[in-house]
Amino acid sequence: YKIALLPGDGIGPEIVPQAVRVLQAVAEKFNREFQFQTAMIGGAAYDATGHPLPEETLAVCRNSDAILLGAVGGPKWDNLEPELRPERGALLPLRKKLGLYANLRPAVVNPALADASTLKEELVSGLNILIIRELTGGLYFGEKRREDLPGGGQKAVETLEYTTAEVERVARLGFEMARKRNKKLTSVDKANVLESSRLWREVVESLAGEYPDVELSHMYVDNCAMQLVRNPKQFDVLVTENMFGDILTDLASQLTGSIGMLPSASLGGEVALYEPIHGSAPDIAGQNLANPIATILSAAMMLRISFGLEAEATAIEQAVDRVLQQGCRTGDIMQPGKNRLGTVEMTEAI
Amino acid sequence: YKIALLPGDGIGPEIVPQAVRVLQAVAEKFNREFQFQTAMIGGAAYDATGHPLPEETLAVCRNSDAILLGAVGGPKWDNLEPELRPERGALLPLRKKLGLYANLRPAVVNPALADASTLKEELVSGLNILIIRELTGGLYFGEKRREDLPGGGQKAVETLEYTTAEVERVARLGFEMARKRNKKLTSVDKANVLESSRLWREVVESLAGEYPDVELSHMYVDNCAMQLVRNPKQFDVLVTENMFGDILTDLASQLTGSIGMLPSASLGGEVALYEPIHGSAPDIAGQNLANPIATILSAAMMLRISFGLEAEATAIEQAVDRVLQQGCRTGDIMQPGKNRLGTVEMTEAI
Ligand SMILES: CC(C)[C@H](C(=O)O)[C@@H](O)C(=O)O
Ligand SMILES: CC(C)[C@H](C(=O)O)[C@@H](O)C(=O)O
């Protein structure tokens, strides 16, 4: 299996190599072969080549069976023009060019960390929800412009578009995932106000007949934000458009109290991309402080989803559970009486 | 003072009269005169006149010094065409036609109810934040259309617009409000992706010099949703655009655990509108079960903001605090060992 590694910025170059070590241990134990090729992205790529997403990086990605990304961005590149910044210059075009239309973000509470949440423990213990966010449409990729107004001042205009086909493919994934889990799908929109949400709801509704075993419901995005705080365990799988998904996935991951633990997958094109949910955390970069678990669990998702290596993925996940039970903690998830480890030592334990 | 009453649907016709009783008690005690004129809105107006926002209702509003609204909507009207539904047919045009560009939503935790939140008590006790939502721009009021695509299927297109002037007036209100409170203003946007957010941020930034006593910061909307769950007490005043505000205000109100307690104000035009944050709750309508406190506190906001009657507003707020301390509760905020009251009885206690 050929794996493209895109360490990126901040703690990215620390955590991606830790996931590689875990993959190498898996390779030995299960007699598999992983080939790694590293490429530059984000601020690091900009500094080296003048562009945050070099053509060569795209080629490496396209030539691989899966991609493991660290994180991009940092204050150093915040004042570049938008198209050269790590976000709009690298992350969004990478998603678009590779056709990664579905972002899967599980929000799972590890039993050892149930009291890490700011929510009361009974509300989140055992929480296991999956949010599927549409990732290549909507406001993110619509036309954007600025006009000078005759009386002075300016006007910013941007466009939100969705087509039947764009909604259908991600909604189908929602139904398929719900089928494999607890068979409940919540489609989130703002159909009482937005035309795109009305189309969204119609298309999702039109597929329901093909998945009679899945219980479908619709929820407005404002209510969904409330319900995630009020009673997150009511949900199984959620599916929503790009901007709503951006907000709701971050909200949901915060419910767990330990975003340093949460992986994600972006699917759709020929090659899928896996990355931790957390950012590049420039403030703790280079100090062996970062929690490598989200990246390690992203590698496990890769083994399961892209390579079908179920036993190997489970082995990683169980190793993570075990070291947490044994009391191993990085700084972000430290609790009284536990054993505080650095990035490298945590990986060794796993 | 002339007050327009728009009871609306569901529990609206139960709670608005309770706020009127409280206002009448205030009138007697402080020797003021309030004149009330009732008008129809929402499903009730549609049923009676064929339109959810009759011209006469607008005239009553324009002819008053302030408006007190109950709630609109319900399953009965959900299948009407969009322009006749209570939301798109009444609530949004009312905001637009009256020029109510700023929606103020305090999320305040009453000391008697700090354990009602799903968040751990120490995270929310003493919470007092104010979110200001832009209410007449953005996606809500942009052009909307549907196209048939040549290959089959459809495309929905809508437009998000903001002008310098639209951002400036609501941002100024944010600075002014922060000045009267703890002098911290957080402007929420998605400037790493949206052009309208870049304009938003530029305009807010350009005003900062006029308010040197206010500490301004900017936050991305996805991070803000996380931070509201992680540590809500870090905030004082937040200001944001219409759609982000819709989501974040609902999220913030849910943090308190008692949205039956939360009032709101919509300002900007000649006449301001006050309403509870909660909806029309058709499931409990007509049973003397609704919590009247959010509407009663909305009336208090009206006295303070529209009429400058500070002592009168405070008298209402203190009465609410006192009955809660005495253990009076409606069903939605009931706790073991407390005294359960109906809508009417709670109002009498207050
Ligand atoms: C960095 C930013 C452009 C990005 C997004 O909004 O998609 C991030 O928030 C994410 O969720 O991956
Ligand atoms: C009912 C709906 C149109 C409305 C909105 O989205 O503005 C509501 O959610 C609100 O917040 O007042």
Q: Which of A118, A161, A163 sits opposite B119 (nearest CB)?
A: A118
Q: Do B154 and A164 touch (CB under 8 A)?
A: yes
Task: Give the whole-angstrom CA distance, residue B199 versus residue A155.
Answer: 8
- State the pLDDT at residue B82: 86
- Residue B334 neighbours by CB under 8 Å, 6+ apart: B340
Whether B223 lines ligand 1, by a CB cut-off of 6 Å, is no
- Residue B191 neighbours by CB under 8 Å, 6+ apart: B197, B198, B200, B201, B218, B220
User: What H or E segment, with its residue span, contains residue A248?
Assistant: helix A242-255
User: How far are the Cα atoms of A253, B75, B214 from residue A225, in angstroms, in the given order?
Assistant: 12, 21, 29
Q: Name the residue ranges covered by the structural domains of chain A.
A: 1-100+264-350, 128-255
- State the pLDDT at residue A138: 98
What residues pair up with A84 in beta bridges, in sequence order? none
The CA-based angle A232-A238-A244, given to 5 degrees, is 95
What residues pair up with B132 in beta bridges, in sequence order? B104, B239
Task: Give the whole-angstrom CA distance, residue A246 versus residue A271.
Answer: 22
Task: Give the whole-angstrom CA distance, residue B272 versus residue B18.
Answer: 20
Closest approach of B255 to chain A, Cα-based (Å)? 7
Q: Which fold has domain A1-100+264-350?
A: Isopropylmalate Dehydrogenase (3.40.718)
What residues pair up with A159 in beta bridges, in sequence order? B159
Contacts of residue B222 in chain A, CB cutoff 8 Å? Answer: 246-247, 249-250
Q: Do B231 and A118 touch (CB under 8 A)?
A: yes
3-state secondary structure of B98: coil
Task: Give the whole-angstrom CA distance, residue A128 versus residue A13.
Answer: 29
- pLDDT-derived band at B270, boundaries 50, 70, 90: confident
Task: Give the whole-angstrom CA distance, residue B252 versus residue B240.
Answer: 13
The answer on whether B332 is annotated among ligand-binding residues is no
| B1-101+259-350 and B128-255: identical CATH topology | yes
**Mutate: best of A206, A242, A243, A259, partner B, most B CBs <10 A:** A243
Closest approach of A225 to chain B, Cα-based (Å)? 5
DSSP annotation string for B275-289: EESS---GGGTTTT-
Contacts of residue B194 in chain A, CB cutoff 8 Å? Answer: 139, 144, 158
Going by their DSSP bridges, the two strands A263-267 and A102-108 should be labelled as antiparallel
Q: Do A139 and B194 touch (CB under 8 A)?
A: yes
Task: Give the whole-angstrom CA distance, residue B29 versus residue B304.
Answer: 16
Task: Give the whole-angstrom CA distance, residue A208 versus residue A237.
Answer: 14
User: What H or E segment, with its residue span, contains residue A27?
Assistant: helix A12-30
**Which atom belonging to ligand 1 lies closest to the Cα atom of B190?**
6
At position B162, the amino acid (one-letter code) is: Y
Closest approach of A31 to chain B, Cα-based (Å)? 41
3-state secondary structure of A19: helix
Where are the alpha helices (H) located in B181-292, listed in sequence order? 195-207, 221-230, 242-255
Q: Which of A88, A158, A231 sits opposite B160 (nearest CB)?
A: A158
**Which atom belonging to ligand 2 lies closest to the Cα atom of A190?**
6
Of A38, A35, A41, A50, the residue nearest A10 (C-alpha): A41
3-state secondary structure of A219: strand
List, for chain A, all residue ranges whose pLDDT scores fall below the cut of 70.
none
At position A220, the amino acid (one-letter code) is: Y
What residues pair up with A35 in beta bridges, in sequence order? A2
Task: Give the whole-angstrom CA distance, residue B170 versus residue B164.
Answer: 10
Inter-residue contact A98 to A269 (CB < 8 Å): yes
Task: Give the whole-angstrom CA distance, residue A178 versus residue A216.
Answer: 9
User: What H or E segment, with its residue span, contains residue A148?
Assistant: strand A144-148
- State the pLDDT at residue B6: 98
- Which burial class, exposed, middle or buried, applies to A108 when counting CB atoms under 10 A from its CB (0-12, 13-18, 19+)? middle
Greater pLDDT, B114 or A19: A19
DSSP annotation string for A103-120: EEEEEE--GGGGGGSSB-
Q: Is the dihedral of CA A229, A230, A232, A234 positive or negative?
A: negative
pTM: 0.97
Substitution candidate for ligand 2 out of B41, B87, B240, B253 with most atoms within 8 A of CB = B87
The answer on whether B7 is annotated among ligand-binding residues is no
Q: Do B229 and A254 touch (CB under 8 A)?
A: yes
Ligand 2 atom 7, closest CA: B246
Task: Give the whole-angstrom CA distance, residue A11 versus residue A289.
Answer: 9
The residue in chain B having the minimum alpha-carbon distance to the alpha carbon of residue A79 is B192
The CATH number assigned to the domain with range B1-101+259-350 reads 3.40.718.10
**Which atom belonging to ligand 1 lies closest to the Cα atom of A72?**
1
Of A275, A282, A274, A288, the residue nearest A331 (C-alpha): A288
At position B7, the amino acid (one-letter code) is: P
Inter-residue contact A266 to A91 (CB < 8 Å): no
User: How far are the Cα atoms of A25, A273, A307, A312 from residue A64, in angstroms, in the given order?
Assistant: 20, 10, 12, 19
**Which DSSP letter does residue B105 get?**
E
- Residue B79 neighbours by CB under 8 Å, 6+ apart: none
Ligand 2 atom 3, closest CA: B87
The answer on whether B321 is annotated among ligand-binding residues is no
Measured in Å, residue B288 CA sits from the centre of ligand 2 at 25
- Residue B156 neighbours by CB under 8 Å, 6+ apart: A161, A162, A163, A195, A196, A198, A199, A200, B144, B145, B146
Of A131, A61, A66, A70, the residue nearest A97 (C-alpha): A61
- State the pLDDT at residue A270: 87
The answer on whether B299 is annotated among ligand-binding residues is no
Q: Which residues of A are catalytic?
A: 140, 190, 222, 246, 250
Inter-residue contact A131 to A107 (CB < 8 Å): yes
Whether A91 lines ligand 1, by a CB cut-off of 6 Å, is yes
Closest approach of B25 to chain A, Cα-based (Å)? 35
The answer on whether B80 is annotated among ligand-binding residues is yes
The token pair at A223 is 């209510």
Inter-residue contact B299 to B95 (CB < 8 Å): no
Task: Give the whole-angstrom CA distance, residue B186 versus residue A265.
Answer: 32
**Which atom belonging to ligand 2 lies closest to the Cα atom of A193?**
3
Of B309, B293, B296, the residue nearest B1 (C-alpha): B309
User: What H or E segment, with its residue span, contains residue B304?
Assistant: helix B293-305
Backbone angles phi, psi at B329, to 5 degrees: -145, 140
A127: Cα separation from own chain's centroid: 17
- Residue B173 neighbours by CB under 8 Å, 6+ apart: B102, B132, B239, B267
Backbone angles phi, psi at A195, to 5 degrees: -70, -40
At position A205, the amino acid (one-letter code) is: E
3-state secondary structure of B297: helix
- State the pLDDT at residue A165: 98
The CATH number assigned to the domain with range B128-255 reads 3.40.718.10
Q: Do B254 and A225 touch (CB under 8 A)?
A: yes
Mean per-residue pLDDT for B54-75?
97
The residue in chain B having the minimum alpha-carbon distance to the alpha carbon of residue A194 is B140
Inter-residue contact A41 to A69 (CB < 8 Å): yes
Measured in Å, residue A246 CA sits from the centre of ligand 1 at 7
For the cut 90, the answer to whether the pLDDT of residue B58 exceeds it is yes
- Residue A231 neighbours by CB under 8 Å, 6+ apart: A123, B118
Inter-residue contact A73 to A87 (CB < 8 Å): yes
Whether A135 lines ligand 1, by a CB cut-off of 6 Å, is no
- State the pLDDT at residue A325: 96
Ligand 2 atom 6, closest CA: B246
Q: Do B119 and A229 touch (CB under 8 A)?
A: yes
User: What H or E segment, with its residue span, contains residue A47?
Assistant: helix A43-49
**Which DSSP letter does residue B119 get?**
B
